[in-house]
Chains A and B, each alone.
Chain A
Amino acid sequence: MADSQIPPRLEEIVEDFKLAEGSEKLELLLEYARKMPPLPEWLHDKRNAMEQVHECMTPVFMFAENQNNQLHFHFDVPEESPTVRGYAALLSEGVDGSTPEAVLAIPGDFYQEMGLQDVLSPRRLQGVHTILAYMKRLATKELAG
């Protein structure tokens, strides 16, 4: 596997969180939750083909669309779970267009730089870790073809 590295947009997002102080971090996360795009129309009848993140109490579904070896992750997360939506939205935006290899190269603890552990309990933090793990699983499937 290539050296661990973070896609440029995700790096910027991490930096934004790092600079935000205290409750600003939560506001930023909420912004991502709010602006998460709805599941595209063409995926509505493909929910069965989507991956469910079983570790989340919230039903989280994700789908990796592969366009010329660039991955686009689509998520479906209930509005009543803004924290999980926020994670999914920032990851989706942060890695959009990355190759499967690049997704796999994201260090599992990349989010620690964001300082969310100061405002979220360990359990609430674990969501971001879990969602990334599932994204990597889908990236591995794409590599396997």
Chain B
Amino acid sequence: MTESSHTYARPEVLVDTQWVAEHLNDPNVRIIESNEDVLLYDLGHIPGAVKLDWVSDLNDPLVRDYLDKEGFEKLMSNKGISNDTTVVFYGDKNNWWATYAFWVFQLFGHTNAKLLNGGRKKWIDEGRELVTEVPSYPASSYTAPERSDAEIRAFRDEVLAAVKSGDIALVDVRSNDEYTGKKLHMPEYPQEGAIRGGHIPGAANIPWATAVNEDSTFKSREDLEQIYGNKGITGDKDVIAYCRIGERSSHTWFVLKYLLGYNNVRNYDGSWTEWGNSVGVPIEK
């Protein structure tokens, strides 16, 4: 843990590269790499780390939803993760997909979870070891509860109710061009299916990566409080974060819930690909 991370609301959820280096052979720790690029893990990863793919591992193949209790138990068993294993996530692009995996694990209450501050980039920039050898761990036994969405996941109708009542703070973490409706996709990403551009009425716009420094580590608590507070995203309100499919907003969800300690933060994973295409819901430009 770095000096500055002590000031975060829940400092125990972050570990630094040194901590990970010291726990490579800890049988109670499982390091998990979760990337946007599906081949990146195979090019080289932290020794002993397992790969988790957001498409093939975490999403249901037929329903737009996450895996269920049985699916999660099977996944955990395959990765050699038990209920008391400490899981440490890291990944490419400022830990973007790592926080998404972290969020999905919380739907199943695996609270013994941490994030490597700075992610894959920091590990590599420090010249630390990468290996291509894929580890194999003995299958574990894992008992998951039924997936519990209510606390940290928001659905379209809940967001619609929030728009009408105005008592929940909405934060759109996409780029400003997506927020204003100028673009229907991320800058430099292919166009991906929403028929209208704009944002959910009343949402503030704070692009997700505003929360990280050049070296991919999180900004200080003071800076983060200012960034979110200045746009009305404060801890005294319930907050719903969204983006395009819920990946970038899981990063913001992580920041608000664990680094700033907001009590009630949810991720709307339907996000713009649902809202921007839905019949009968209002948008704002």
Contact = CB atoms under 8 A, between A and B. Distances in A.
A83 B92 CA distance: 13
Contact of B39 (A55, A56, A86): A86
B186 A82 contact: no
Nearest to A125: B190
Q: Is the interface of B mostly helix, strand, loop or mixed?
A: loop
Contacts of B92: 80
A27 B42 CA distance: 9
B42 A82 contact: yes
A79 B186 contact: no
A55 B189 contact: yes
A105 to B, nearest CB: 23
A43 interface: no
A33 B38 CA distance: 12
Contacts of A26: 38-39, 42
Interface in A31-50: 33-34
A130 interface: yes
A30 B189 contact: no
B167 interface: no
Interface string B184-201: 001011111000000000
Interface in A72-100: 79-84, 86
B190 A126 contact: yes
B40 interface: yes
Interface stretch (A2-10, A11-19, A116-124): A116-124
A130 B39 contact: no
Nearest to A79: B43
A140 B256 CA distance: 49
Contacts of B42: 26-27, 30, 82
A141 interface: no
B37 interface: yes
A123 B190 contact: yes
Interface string A104-145: 000000000000000111111011011000000000000000
Most interface-central of B39, B40, B192 (chain A CB within 10 A): B39
A81 B35 CA distance: 10
25 contacts: A26-B39, A27-B42, A30-B42, A34-B43, A54-B188, A55-B189, A56-B190, A57-B188, A57-B189, A79-B43, A80-B40, A81-B37, A82-B37, A82-B39, A82-B43, A83-B39, A84-B37, A86-B39, A120-B55, A122-B192, A123-B190, A123-B192, A124-B55, A127-B190, A129-B190
Interface of A: 26-27, 29-30, 33-34, 54-57, 79-84, 86, 119-124, 126-127, 129-130
Given A56-B189, A81-B40, A126-B192, 15 more contacts: A26-B39, A30-B39, A33-B39, A54-B188, A55-B188, A55-B191, A57-B188, A82-B37, A82-B39, A82-B43, A83-B38, A86-B39, A120-B38, A121-B55, A124-B38
**The 6 nearest A-B residue pairs measured at CB:** A82-B39, A126-B190, A121-B55, A55-B190, A57-B188, A30-B39
